[in-house]
Amino acid sequence: MQALCTPTETTPDIYCPVCRKGFRLFWERRSERDQQAALPGIIEQLRAHHEDTGAENLHPKTAFNIPAWSGLPQFSGAALLGGAY
């Protein structure tokens, strides 16, 4: 399942476990069970942003998808079905 992560200073849905940066999540699926099942993978991807150098600010400054995809974030299933734009 795909999620669109958008950096935010207010009302985050999730925090990076390394730097505590907040993100809003927009989901491709609305099932809470599916979303809860996807959270460990999202947390792992946020953690992976830091693995290469350990820098404090490695997350994209704009919206990004987990899992990643090659298209523009605003046209992803998560963005369209989750109501991000």
Q: Is residue 57 part of a domain?
A: no
CA separation, residue 15 to residues 54, 75, 81 (Å): 17, 24, 22
Residue identified by tokens 């992803």 is 76
Tally of structural domains, the chain: 1
Any idea which of 25-34, 45-54, 73-82 has the lowest mean pLDDT?
73-82
pTM over 0.85: no
> Taking the mean position of all CA atoms in its chain, how far away is CA 1?
12
Q: Is residue 8 part of a domain?
A: yes
Q: Is residue 55 part of a domain?
A: no
Question: What is the per-residue pLDDT for 74?
Answer: 73
Query: How confident is the model over 47-75, as pLDDT tens digits?
Result: 988 886 656 668 888 889 887 767 667 76
Q: Is residue 73 part of a domain?
A: yes
Q: Is residue 58 part of a domain?
A: no
Range of the domain at 39: 3-18+26-50+63-82
